[in-house]
């Protein structure tokens, strides 16, 4: 039996479903219009699996989820879709986290969709990504990035902080906006560098040529001067 829950307070119609198949639970999390993400967990017995389901359902209900019908997902025809911020987040929603540990497999659905779009749309995807990463490039966020965070006294890796910001964007619009507003939500010691190569991989697959585009906004660490008002003093 499949249970479907929706979050009425979410304007993008967040939904969550779960079902038991043998001794395996299959949960789907998504938003209207975006490709849902599946999580599978295997248990020794049906009873163990059912207890896990009951626990997850109780947690979702405490967060405001109620019984309701999950919206149907219809895959857009990407080749005739124009890039916009909404489309950018739809593409991010195609990341296949079932393949965690194999970054190429995780990004493949995004690369394959983006490769059918126009060159200008591929470039615009890169621009949107750069803008998101740039806005997260702040001292406040860097101080929450884990063991070697900014100001911890240990070595701070500018590259790893960039890859951590990629992880924020890769987890979708809602997560991005929450972390942007509340730096304490920054993931600790996590990264997803592969996101940086999505646009270039799509362009090269489509054209067979090297990626010629550079975003107008610099996403490298310390590039957002407004986000690092004390950098010069601390460096000095």
pLDDT digits (tens, 9 = 90+) for 71-97: 766 677 888 999 999 999 989 988 888
Comparing 64-68, 127-131, 228-232, the range with the smallest average pLDDT is 228-232
Helix (H, G, I), strand (E, B) or coil at 206: helix
pLDDT at site 37:
73
> DSSP class of residue 155?
-
Task: Give the architecture (CATH level 2) of 2-67.
Answer: Single Sheet (2.20)
- For residue 19, with 0-12 CB atoms within 10 Å meaning exposed, 13-18 middle and 19 or more buried, which class applies? middle
Domain boundaries, the chain: 2-67, 78-235
pLDDT, mean of residues 140-158 = 89
pLDDT at site 131:
98
pLDDT at site 33:
59
For all residues of the chain together, what is the average pLDDT? 90
pLDDT at site 217:
96
> How far is Cα 146 from Cα 183, in angstroms, rounded to an integer?
12
pLDDT at site 35:
64
pLDDT, mean of residues 36-62 = 89
Number of Cβ within 10 Å of residue 106's Cβ equals 20
- Residue 21: pLDDT band (50, 70, 90) is confident
- Residue 188: pLDDT band (50, 70, 90) is confident
Helix (H, G, I), strand (E, B) or coil at 185: helix
> How far is Cα 159 from Cα 221, in angstroms, rounded to an integer?
7
What is the reported pTM? 0.74
pLDDT at site 174:
87
Which pair of structure tokens corresponds to residue 85? 């911020």
pLDDT of 236 above 50: no
pLDDT at site 34:
62
Taking only Cα atoms into account, the Rg of the chain, rounded to an integer number of angstroms, comes to: 20
Question: Is residue 18 within 8 Å of 2, Cβ to Cβ?
Answer: yes
């Amino acid at each position: 039996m499949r249970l479907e829950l929706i979050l009425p307070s979410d304007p993008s119609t967040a939904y969550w479903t779960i079902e038991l198949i043998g001794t395996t639970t299959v949960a789907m999390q998504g938003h209207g219009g975006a490709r849902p993400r599946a999580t599978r967990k295997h248990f020794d017995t049906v009873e163990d699996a059912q207890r896990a389901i009951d626990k997850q359902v109780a947690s979702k209900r405490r967060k405001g989820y109620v019984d309701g019908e999950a919206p149907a997902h219809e895959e857009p025809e990407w080749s005739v879709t124009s890039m916009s911020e909404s489309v950018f987040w739809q593409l991010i929603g195609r990341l296949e986290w079932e393949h965690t540990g194999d970054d190429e497999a995780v990004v493949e659905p995004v690369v394959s969709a983006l490769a059918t779009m126009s060159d200008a749309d591929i470039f615009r995807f890169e621009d949107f990504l750069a803008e998101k990463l740039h806005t997260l490039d702040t001292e406040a966020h860097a101080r929450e990035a884990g063991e070697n965070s900014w100001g911890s006294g240990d070595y701070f890796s500018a590259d790893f902080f960039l890859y951590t910001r990629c992880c924020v964007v890769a987890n979708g619009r809602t997560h991005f906006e929450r972390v942007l507003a509340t730096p304490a939500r920054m993931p600790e010691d996590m990264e997803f560098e592969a996101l940086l190569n999505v646009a270039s991989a799509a362009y090269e697959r489509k054209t067979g040529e090297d990626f010629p585009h550079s975003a107008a906004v610099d996403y490298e660490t310390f590039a957002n001067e407004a986000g690092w008002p004390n950098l010069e003093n601390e460096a000095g």
